[in-house]
Amino acid sequence: MNTKTSWGKVAGWYNNLLEKDEDSYQRMLILPNLLRLLEIKKGETILDLACGQGFFAGEFAKSGAKVIGADISPELIEIARKDNAVEYHVSEADKLDFLADQSVDKITLILSLQNMQNVQGVFGEAKRVLRPKGKLFMVLNHPSFRIPKQSSWGYDEARKTQYRRLDGYLSESLERIQMHPGDNPGEKTISFHRPLQFYFKALNNKGFCISKLEEWVSHKTSETGPKKAAEDKARHEFPLFLFLEAVKTC
């Protein structure tokens, strides 16, 4: 099976989603948290790996850093290059030939690791291009609660409680998922599920130590209705996203 993934075929839709949706998770939840945790300093070099159409890379550049973006999709990079403040490259995440050893201070991987097969290779390249004590910042769909085709919401009528159902967790898996919900069902990508221990072990194996972990819940609320209270409570109990910071230790 060809497990290389790219969002290039839906580049226009994805770009419109991030540019026009003022209430998106990327804009309202992930971006402010990342800016807080990155602590960007003027003059440092940041690599936004699997940068898509450059939404986050462009925001990082506003803080005075030298920002480099890389993505496997030529279509998304073409859109990204409209922003001259960032240097963009078409590249696979596990083969960063355009970067020299120890040439960047920080790397971000935002909602992309779950679409990558060769995670060990990605972490290996991250280690190579990071300077000593450089940091890798990762945001994932939370692997404990958002498992493709193996997790779902349920509602207990007797207890008036919304709950999260899991049909699997420890076993690694991959699923073909539709890129653009509600549109062309034939345009699919692959999403990989791995448990938390996979990422901890893979990072440790490549010379990284996890220094921070945060779990981010939805900022949204339900419309008025009989299940609103239960839905809003569940949103604050089951995090959507997992953040990991890892430091290069050797």
Task: Provide mean pLDDT across the span 205-234.
Answer: 97
* β-strand partners of 68: 47, 87
Residues of the chain with pLDDT > 90, as a percent, come to: 84
In this structure, which CATH number among 1.10.10.1200, 2.70.70.10, 3.40.50.150, 2.30.40.10 belongs to the domain 8-142+195-222+241-248? 3.40.50.150
Domain spans, the chain = 8-142+195-222+241-248
3-state secondary structure of 36: helix
Q: What's the whole-model pTM score?
A: 0.90
Strands 66-71 and 241-248 turn out to be unpaired
Q: Are 90 and 6 in contact (CB under 8 A)?
A: no
Sign of torsion over alpha carbons 117, 121, 126, 132: positive
3-state secondary structure of 42: coil
> What is the rounded CA–CA span in Å between residue 17 and residue 137?
23
Task: Provide mean pLDDT across the span 194-203.
Answer: 98
User: pLDDT digit string (tens) for 109-157?
Assistant: 999 999 999 999 999 999 999 999 999 999 999 999 999 999 999 999 9
Provide the token pair at 170: 């420890």
- Tell me the CB-side half-sphere exposure of residue 192, using CA atoms within 13 A: 18
User: pLDDT digit string (tens) for 20-63?
Assistant: 688 999 999 999 999 999 999 999 999 999 999 999 999 999 99
